[in-house]
Amino acid sequence: MKGVKELKVRIKSVTNIKKITSAMEMVAATKLRRLQERALATRPFADRIEQMMRRVAAHADPAASPLLEEKGVSEREALVVVGADKGLCGAYNSNLLRHALKQVEEVKAEGVGTSLYLFGRRPQAFFGKLKGAEIAWVHPDPIEKIEYSSIRRAMDILVAAFVADEVQRVRVVYTQKKSMASFVPVTQDLLPVAESGADGAGDGEAALDYILEPSPDVIMKRLLPRYLEMQLYAAVLESLAAEFAARRMAMKSATDAAEEMLGTLGMEYNKARQEGITGELLDIVGGVVVQAG
């Protein structure tokens, strides 16, 4: 049985940890609400503009924009990895990085190289230490404070690499929040823009022949860059929302564990204190008996 003083120190330490994890849980919950609002406001628009662009692509000349051009045999792809700057969010980072590494290894087995474009310090640290990883670009600022202008600059770099045929495909790896307790890493194609589903099949609409003004070619040239920026922006926002949801859940689990540990330590402390009091009473009684004898 541990001594009373040692138990008091442990109780104080666990209490302090509980205060920290509880505060971090509240901070994560506050940031989650804000990011969730941004993500939820962006995702429907991103999904809808994707449907619209694929429908227009079905009527446009594939040569109208180099972003529609299938490169044929792929020798190199650009993989955008959207991760976190910090830890303390459960398995969020490890699951994402494991998924991204699997994508790199799969295309490597097919003879395709990978240029990495990284958002977040955790992916930068992970791939920076990985032998053979080719990092082409990193986002310099904290991802939590990312603005649309940063997404636009990143997308300009990716488009330039694709148009110059430095890469033949662009994909993004991020974490999709299925629920408040379920977060799944996913891979989404960005370039070239696919024409599958261009007739709107699967979205509840009948196949219609639209009259497009100006011409489909002009629409594609003007809207494709905005469409790609919105797709990447939506992925970053959803990844951030998933990160803070995971951090909130991890901090809540830590707070609950600390509360349970305090209960156990409290029982041990009371038992040790009671044993100490009983021992002192026995010493007093023993002394009185000796004197009486």
Provide the pLDDT for residue 36: 76
Provide the pLDDT for residue 213: 63
Q: Does domain 4-21+251-292 have CATH number 1.10.287.80?
A: yes
| CA proximity to 61, closest of 219, 208, 201 | 219
Taking a C-beta distance cutoff of 8 angstroms, is the pair 169, 78 a contact? yes
CATH 1.10.287.80 domain range(s) in the chain: 4-21+251-292
Provide the pLDDT for residue 201: 42
270 alpha carbon, distance to own chain's centre? 44
| CA proximity to 188, closest of 220, 147, 232 | 232
- Cα separation, 137 vs 232, in Å, equals 15
Query: pLDDT (tens digit, 9 = 90+) per residue, 127-150?
Result: 999 988 999 999 999 998 898 899
- Cα separation, 250 vs 270, in Å, equals 30
Provide the pLDDT for residue 204: 46
Provide the pLDDT for residue 211: 63
- Cα separation, 211 vs 285, in Å, equals 103
Provide the pLDDT for residue 158: 95
pLDDT averaged over 10-residue windows placed end to end, the chain, 293 residues: 80 92 90 80 76 72 74 88 92 94 94 95 94 92 89 94 92 88 90 59 50 68 84 90 90 91 88 79 70 63
- By DSSP bridging, strand 76-82 and strand 169-179 are parallel
Instruction: Give the side-chain half-sphere CA count within 13 A for 114.
Output: 23
| CA proximity to 180, closest of 237, 235, 119, 250 | 250
Give residue 72's identity as a one-letter amino acid code.
G
In this prediction the pTM is 0.80
Structure tokens at 233: 């922006």
CATH architecture of 24-196+206-247: 3-Layer(aba) Sandwich (3.40)
| CA proximity to 87, closest of 233, 260, 254 | 254
- Cα separation, 173 vs 131, in Å, equals 20
CATH 3.40.1380.10 domain range(s) in the chain: 24-196+206-247
